[in-house]
Chains A and B, each alone.
Chain A
Amino acid sequence: GEDVEQSLFLSVREGDSSVINCTYTDSSSTYLYWYKQEPGAGLQLLTYIFSNMDMKQDQRLTVLLNKKDKHLSLRIADTQTGDSAIYFCAETSYSSASKIIFGSGTRLSIRP
């Protein structure tokens, strides 16, 4: 069945890079997403990648996709205190309008 897994916690020092990893099981995944959720807030789409791409860069964010291993990662360069949040990895099959399958989220905390 469809499943998305990610580690629960990550702690990094301010200014370092953060790398959040995710694995998924659905071989027909079409779109893969990273969402950010701050306390008490909804979901903010950070970036997404189509399954025929290997990498996507958007300012401080770099997404890497290894489709063979069904592994997705999000790298945040120069991590700041404002990056503290829960990050959700997610995927859809067939089209971007299809249901989204989310992981349980990785809580990123920043050390001074």
Chain B
Amino acid sequence: DAGVTQSPTHLIKTRGQQVTLRCSPKSGHDTVSWYQQALGQGPQFIFQYYEEEERQRGNFPDRFSGHQFPNYSSELNVNALWLGDSALYLCASSLWGSNQPQHFGDGTRLSIL
């Protein structure tokens, strides 16, 4: 039973570029949430997708956008990258409406030069 998988593991970009990160949820889960973890801090909620729609959003600018596909996998897109976007991006999956906790992937480490 595969858990939450994220790709790529590491990524290096330069300022102004855009990036797409990918997440496959744990088998049986239908909801995907994305978090940004800057160095030395706790993860911050970016947004959550269920039924291919954004359901909740944290305090992140419109440069951060996402998508969920019919197979429940998800993408996080960030445009106009700047140095402050360097972070570990974590994906979590869950089953909408259940009482079971979210499961996290190992994250994508994004470095902006």
A33 touching B101, Cβ below 8 Å = yes
Chain B interface residue count, CB cutoff 8 Å, equals 30
The interface stretch among A12-20, A54-62, A69-77, A95-103 is A95-103
Contact among A4, A43, A97, A103 for B104, CB-based, below 8 A: A43
A97 touching B45, Cβ below 8 Å = no
- Which of the four size classes fits the interface of chain A? 20 to 34
Contact among A96, A102, A103 for B99, CB-based, below 8 A: A96
Q: Are A97 and B105 also in contact (CB < 8 A) when A102-B43, A104-B41, A105-B42 are?
A: no
Does B31 belong to the interface (CB within 8 Å)?
Answer: yes
Interface residues of A in 22-58 (CB under 8 A from B): 31, 33, 35, 41-45, 48, 50
Residue of B nearest to A99 (CB): B45
Q: Which residues of B contact A (CB under 8 A)?
A: 31, 33, 35, 40-45, 48, 50, 56, 58, 88, 90, 92, 94-107
